[in-house]
Structure 1
Amino acid sequence: MNIRKSRIADAENLVRLIKQVEEESEFMLMEAGERQITPEQQRQRIETFEKSENSAIFVAEDGNQLAGYLFAIGGTARRVKHSVYIVIGILKNFRGQGIGTNLFEKLYSWAIEHKIHRLELTVVTRNEAGLALYKKMGFEIEGTKRHSLRIDGEFVDEFSMAKLL
């Protein structure tokens, strides 16, 4: 498994990957089929992230297939440029193989190099696998967002988590 920064050539495969992860997971923000992004829009996003000092997209590549991604979305105001919001997704068939850990390790190296001080994310409170990964990677729960999402007609809570570097 190769963990690397995304390239413009990844745009089409990244769109497919994101949509497949959203189909396979009950815990992503967007439901299956809800995301409307084209390869061209994804190319533009990759280009924007490449030019940014505090945003990056990392992918996990297995041969010619993308198996996972991690978006590090940096703050735009001066007071939050030291902080990034994390979105991670891994294909169901590749979960439990250390890909999430490897994506976070790549993120940490990049973050230190780019003087990022705070990493933050949200996770559905009943997402046990995600919660275990984030705690293993040093994230701590900072609070609970009550009824922050509605999944299958039910209001669910999320934890706000962060790690300081």
Structure 2
Amino acid sequence: MIIRQITESDAGAHLELCKTIDGESSFMLFEAGERKTTEEEHREWIFKILASGNSVIFVAETKEGKLVGYLTAVGGEANRNKHSMYIVIGILKAFTGQRIGTKLFDALEEWARTKGITRLSLGLMEPNQNAFALYMKMGFELEGKKKEVFKVDGHFVDELIMGKRLI
């Protein structure tokens, strides 16, 4: 498995990966078919991420060149939160349990430390125990809970807030 930073030329494949993961998991923000982004809009978004200096996207790619996972980390825009990043991660169901998440987080932390990032944060739907276990393994701490943030299949779901200091 190759872990690398995304490039603008990955826009089409990355967008399709996101759409596929949206359809495979009830734990992602978007439902199946809800993501309406065009490839050109996605390419522009990737360009902005890469140009920001404190945001990054890492992708997991098979030896055959297929994208199977990603980790997006967006840094703050104001002076008071530029040191902090918010993370979203997704991995194709067929590739879970292969340490891809661990490798994506390792790559992010190495990159973040070189950019002066001192805090990572993320949110997850409370029932997503596999993700919770990964984040705990990676050194994240539970920082709180927001009630009824999401509505999944007609039921309200709480969001767990987690963070990790890199100092």
Q: Shorter-normalised TM-score: what interval?
A: over 0.9
Structure 1 residue aligned with 2:3: 3
For residues 88-120 of structure 1, the C-alpha deviation after alignment (integer angstroms, 9 at most, x for no partner) is 000000000000000000000010000001100
Distance 2:154 2:71 in 1: 28
Residue 49 of structure 1 and its aligned partner are, at CA, apart by 1.3
Distance 1:32 1:140 in 2: 30
Distance 1:49 1:108 in 2: 17
Matched, 1:65 2:89: no
Look up the equivalent residue of 1:108 and give its one-letter code: E
Look up the equivalent residue of 1:130 and give its one-letter code: A
For residues 31-69 of structure 1, the C-alpha deviation after alignment (integer angstroms, 9 at most, x for no partner) is 111111111111111111111111001100012200000
Residue 128 of structure 1 and its aligned partner are, at CA, apart by 0.8
Distance 1:125 1:8 in 2: 33
Distance 1:61 1:11 in 2: 14
Distance 1:42 1:2 in 2: 22
For residues 58-89 of structure 1, the C-alpha deviation after alignment (integer angstroms, 9 at most, x for no partner) is 10001220000000011111100000000000
Matched, 1:155 2:139: no
Structure 2 residue aligned with 1:27: 27
Mapping 1:14-93, distance limit 5 Å: 14-62=14-62, 63-93=64-94
- Give the TM-score normalised by structure 1: 0.99
Helix, strand or coil: the match of 1:48? helix
CA RMSD of aligned residues (A): 0.6
Distance 1:60 1:25 in 2: 18
Distance 1:20 1:51 in 2: 26
Mapping 1:96-135, distance limit 5 Å: 96-135=97-136
Equivalent pairs counted in the alignment come to 165
Distance 1:48 1:156 in 2: 31
Look up the equivalent residue of 1:113 and give its one-letter code: T
Residue 145 of structure 1 and its aligned partner are, at CA, apart by 0.7
Q: Where do 5+ consecutive residues of structure 2 fail to align?
A: none
Distance 2:100 2:42 in 1: 22
- Give the TM-score normalised by structure 2: 0.97
Helix, strand or coil: the match of 1:163? strand
Distance 2:18 2:66 in 1: 13
Distance 1:159 1:139 in 2: 12
